[in-house]
């Protein structure tokens, strides 16, 4: 428990019933708490760890945002105004993100209780939500599930086929190159985490073997601006999922890889290959000590490049239509091509001592005992509103827009849900 948030002893004098209970004290839970506090709505947040836990404990030492700091705008608290950040075009590091979140909490003093695990949510006979926790049972009229989708990290079944003398960790447990055994490192997956961890290891002088997936990439800067700034000007981040060409399927897409490291730059895996990083296609199997890869390295690299070029073409069109003066850049040129696809690798003939699985996270909402999930266990909602009156979700990827699960868009979602909560309270008062 953070002492500056809760007076000593108050933790054990909580009420049994609240108007609203919020599950999760990350940026999503804090954002909706700010909005409810502004409305004077009685509520409490249950956070099983501590504020900033995921950023503090589940990111590597050199981690930084891939979106610029000026996009960090929580309800009532922007990076440049209330936080007085001095580097709006920079990219906050892990420790800076934690300080930003803690400063946000200090800014409005939310009613949060840390170290409280929610074990079950049901509806009781009075049609109230009954919330069982590690500190007792509470009820509420409305509830916001702000636990996110990155709830647990586990290694895939194929990991059990690797030799026992090879260290295997999930990307959430990677800290720095020095903490790993001596020898080469294989990174599986090229989403944002995988590409950046490979970069971190490569820059430290580690020999990296990278299994390249189908993640897209983007340029960092183009025609005089950060690509994010161009896309913001183009209102790309305001497009609701209902108008996105891919619809709900976009929620399952891997994010474009790029980095905010050293002031922000592009990650081009082809350049890493020229510098000695070994690239493979997707890892498909482990047969004794032999790794089997799909012959799709070239295809995956080409697709990533095509994605980056499509973004550039959209920016070009925007510049032309709006008659904006901007420097012209030469077309992208591939600096490396795989001469042949490596489809197998004998581990005994390599110095690979560590495998880092950058394969994303899983979610588990089985503790919410209400019929608001699809067959995969993912919540069904419309802008966070479920079919169960008074039950909401917040902070999920593409919940409404691209920024829904990020610092850039959570404010819009939190403000919308707070209006829904307020209207429900008003309906109840008016009878």
Question: Rounded distance, CA 141 to CA 114, Å?
Answer: 22
| Residue pLDDT, tens place only, 28-48 | 999 999 999 999 999 999 999
Tell me how many domains the chain contains: 2
DSSP 158-215: GGGGS-TTSEEEEGGG---GGGSPSSEEEEE--SHHHHHHHHHHHHTT--EEEE--S-
> Is residue 325, in this structure, part of any structural domain at all?
yes
Query: What pLDDT was estimated at residue 259?
Result: 97
With the C-alpha atoms ordered 71, 74, 80, 81, is the resulting torsion angle positive or negative?
positive
Whichever domain contains 285, its CATH number is: 3.50.50.60
Distance CA 161, CA 212 (A): 20
What is the reported pLDDT for 3?
A: 40
Contact, 130 vs 123, CB < 8 A? yes
For residue range 50-74, what is the model confidence (pLDDT) as tens digits? 999 999 999 999 999 999 999 999 9
| Whether residue 118 is found in the same domain as residue 182 | no
Q: Is residue 3 part of a domain?
A: no
Does residue 289 belong to any structural domain of this protein?
A: yes
Within this chain, do residues 170 and 122 fall inside the same structural domain, yes or no?
no
Q: Which residues of the chain have pLDDT under 50?
A: 1-12
- pTM (predicted TM-score): 0.93
Give the per-residue pLDDT at 4.
39
- Which of 303, 323, 357 is where one domain is finished? 357
Check residue 153 and give its pLDDT. Answer: 86
Residues 304, 395 within the same domain = no
Host domain of residue 268 = 157-357
- Asked if 243 and 381 sit in the same domain, the reply is no
pLDDT at 7: 40
271 shares its domain with 375: no
Residues 99 and 241 in one domain: no
Write down the pLDDT at residue 1. Answer: 36
Q: Which pLDDT belongs to residue 288? A: 87
* Inter-CA distances, 1 with 12, 25, 130, 138, 190, Å: 12, 12, 23, 19, 36
What pLDDT, on the 0 to 100 scale, is given for residue 6? 46
Domain boundary pick from 357, 374, 393: 357
The answer to whether residue 2 is domain-embedded is no
């Amino acid at each position: 428990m953070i002492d500056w948030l809760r007076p000593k002893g108050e933790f054990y004098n909580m009420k049994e019933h609240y108007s609203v209970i919020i599950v999760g004290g990350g940026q999503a839970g804090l954002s909706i708490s700010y909005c409810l506090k502004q409305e004077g709505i009685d509520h409490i947040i249950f956070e099983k760890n501590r504020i900033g836990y995921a950023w503090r404990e589940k990111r590597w030492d050199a981690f930084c945002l891939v979106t610029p700091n000026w996009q960090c705008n929580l309800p009532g608290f922007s990076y440049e105004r209330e936080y007085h950040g001095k580097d709006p075009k920079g990219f906050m590091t892990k420790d800076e993100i934690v300080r930003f979140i803690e400063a946000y909490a200090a800014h409005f003093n939310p009613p949060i209780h840390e170290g409280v695990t929610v074990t079950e949510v049901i509806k009781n006979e009075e049609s109230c939500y009954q919330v069982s926790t590690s500190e007792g049972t509470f009820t509420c009229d409305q509830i916001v599930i702000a636990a996110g989708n990155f709830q647990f990290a586990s290694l895939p079944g194929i990991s059990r086929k690797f030799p026992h003398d090879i260290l295997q960790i999930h990307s959430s447990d990677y800290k720095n190159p020095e903490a790993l055994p001596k020898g080469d490192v294989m990174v599986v997956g090229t989403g944002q985490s995988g590409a950046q961890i490979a970069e971190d290891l490569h820059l430290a002088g580690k020999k990296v073997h990278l299994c390249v997936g189908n993640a897209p990439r983007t340029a960092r800067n183009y025609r005089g601006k950060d690509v994010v700034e161009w896309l913001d000007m183009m209102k790309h981040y305001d497009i609701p999922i209902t108008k996105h060409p891919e619809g709900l399927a976009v929620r399952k897409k891997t994010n474009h890889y790029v980095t905010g490291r050293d002031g922000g730059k592009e990650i081009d895996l082809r350049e890493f290959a020229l510098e000695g990083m070994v690239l493979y296609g997707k890892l498909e199997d482990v047969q004794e000590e032999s790794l089997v890869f799909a012959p799709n390295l070239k295809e995956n690299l080409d697709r990533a490049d095509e994605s980056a070029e499509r973004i550039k073409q959209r920016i070009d069109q925007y510049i032309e239509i709006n008659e904006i003066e901007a420097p012209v850049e030469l077309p992208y040129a591939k600096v490396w091509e795989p001469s042949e696809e490596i489809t197998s690798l004998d581990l005994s003939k390599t110095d690979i001592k560590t495998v880092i699985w950058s394969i994303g996270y899983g979610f588990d909402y089985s503790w919410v005992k209400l019929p608001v999930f699809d067959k995969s266990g993912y919540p069904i909602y419309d802008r966070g509103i479920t079919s169960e009156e008074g039950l909401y979700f917040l902070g999920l990827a593409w919940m409404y827009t691209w920024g829904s699960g990020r610092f850039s868009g959570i404010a819009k979602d939190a403000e919308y849900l707070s209006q829904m909560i307020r209207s429900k309270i008003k309906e109840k008062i008016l009878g």
